[in-house]
Amino acid sequence: MNTTAFEQYESEVRSYCRKFPKVFRSSKGAYITDEDGKEYLDFFCGAGALNYGHNHPYIKGKVIDYLMGDGIVHALDMYTVAKREFIETFEEKILKPRGLDYKIQFPGPTGTNAMEAALKLARKVKGRRNVMALMGCFHGMTIGTLALTTERDARIGAGVPLNDVTHIPAPYMFPEFDVIDYVNTILEDDHSGIEKPAAFVLETVQAEGGIHPFSVEFLQRLRKLCDKHDMLLITDEVQIGCGRSGYFFSFERAGIVPDIVALSKSIGGLGLPLALTLFRPELDIWSPGEHNGTFRGNNPAFVAAKAAVEVMVGDKLDENVRQNEHVLCDGLTAIAAVDDRLSVRGIGYMWGIDCGKIQKGFAKKVILRCFDNGLICELAGREDCVVKLMPPLIADEATLKKGLAIVEKSLKECLAEL
């Protein structure tokens, strides 16, 4: 395996290649293959950017046809056929059937761009600097989103103060503690020392925080709290969106409508960079060019995104996820039963095994052993104590069970070595 070019010239900041030290050459569906021909089942899916699997034939075909026809690749935010067709498809197949009336902003190519735009707009609309976020959250690595993110090492890397965010304990941290009542109290108390926020920001399922789905009741109460205190509700759908929760938007299960929504990763269809910031029309007080980005007009991504929406709706992938969710839940619960220090959490096609009660570093040993055994999965949670599984939404029951068998084998091997 020749890794000289990477090790000699690429920055030390690289990370995933250290956990999965192979040079990969090709990929298809739920599998990725290294240059020696070994095949790996991919339950990481580009950190959620490949919900429809690798090189989905329909999506890929549409992009190839577009490029072969000399379709426009880069256009800033000028009008193009590709953008128009994506907007029309997204409105007709995703937003309108859900009764959602959102304006669409193309802020740049990544999730952190979508979140930065959301923060900027919320502060502009409300005329306030402070925002609230939950402990355990991850919202991005640029300065505004890093101020939201609570991971210590990531925050240290900023090198500057990260201000104007009030972090609130997440509901799972203190089960006996009523988070909504606490927030209501500090907002009504003129001696709390907390500035009234412009917005409350959350992932409805904390992914990097350790796979913590928030209850329907909590989400509904939070929506009412934001209305009561004139705060905007911003949901980060960057990783849990595009069907991974069993619904296109993860907030749908709670029957709530956020004021602003950040969407990226799998909205690009084929792993192409694309991000959207959605918001209620009355919030659209931007001046032309007030927030922009050179690559907000990624036209091949518009083509892929349109095709991905067609696949999602046509193949009913959200229903597939809801129908097969029990395979992951039941399978992982049975696997975790081998040791009472293990616990399982998740929703849809995002699940985790919490190994935090065993020993520090154990979850990492498990994912490395999974890789040796032919499965790619990741870590999440405090001190990376959770084994995180995110199969592609196209995965059927047989594929899910194949991945679970590798997890079981790897976990038992690691437990036997303690």
Domains, the chain, ordered by start: 4-55+325-416 (3.90.1150.10), 60-314 (3.40.640.10)
DSSP 211: S
Report the pLDDT averaged over residues 218-232: 98
Report the pLDDT averaged over residues 56-74: 98
- Alpha helices by DSSP H, 161-261: 179-188, 216-228
pLDDT in tens, 146-155: 999 999 999 9
pLDDT of residue 385: 98
DSSP 200: E
Report the pLDDT averaged over residues 7-32: 96
**What percentage of the chain's residues is helix, strand, coil (to nearest 5)?**
40, 15, 40
CA distance 300 to 182: 46
pLDDT of residue 298: 95
pLDDT of residue 343: 97
pLDDT in tens, 72-120: 999 999 999 999 999 999 999 999 999 999 999 999 999 999 999 999 9
- pLDDT bin (cut points 50, 70, 90) of residue 243 is very high
pLDDT of residue 110: 95
- The beta strands (E) that lie in 222-286 are given as 232-236, 260-263, 276-279
pLDDT of residue 370: 98
CA distance 102 to 94: 11
Average model confidence (pLDDT) for the chain? 97
pLDDT in tens, 298-352: 999 999 999 999 999 999 999 999 999 999 999 999 999 999 999 999 999 999 9
Q: Are 201 and 183 in contact (CB under 8 A)?
A: no
Residue with tokens 């999440």: 380
pLDDT of residue 245: 98
- In this structure, what are the phi and psi dihedrals at residue 32, rounded to the nearest 5 degrees? -130, 140
| pTM exceeding the 0.75 threshold for the entire prediction | yes
pLDDT of residue 268: 97
CA distance 183 to 221: 11
- Express as a percent the part of the chain with pLDDT over 90: 99
- pLDDT bin (cut points 50, 70, 90) of residue 70 is very high
CA distance 123 to 269: 31
- pLDDT bin (cut points 50, 70, 90) of residue 194 is very high
CA distance 407 to 328: 11
Extract the tokens encoding 39: 């095949």
The helix or strand, by DSSP H or E, that contains position 31, with its residue range, turns out to be strand 31-34
Report the pLDDT averaged over residues 34-56: 97
CA distance 89 to 91: 5
Q: State the number of CA atoms in the 13 A half-sphere of 26 facing the CB.
A: 6
pLDDT of residue 289: 94
pLDDT of residue 145: 96
pLDDT of residue 356: 96
Q: State the number of CA atoms in the 13 A half-sphere of 352 facing the CB.
A: 25
pLDDT of residue 20: 96
Q: Are 1 and 23 in contact (CB under 8 A)?
A: yes
Q: DSSP 3-state assignment of 111?
A: helix
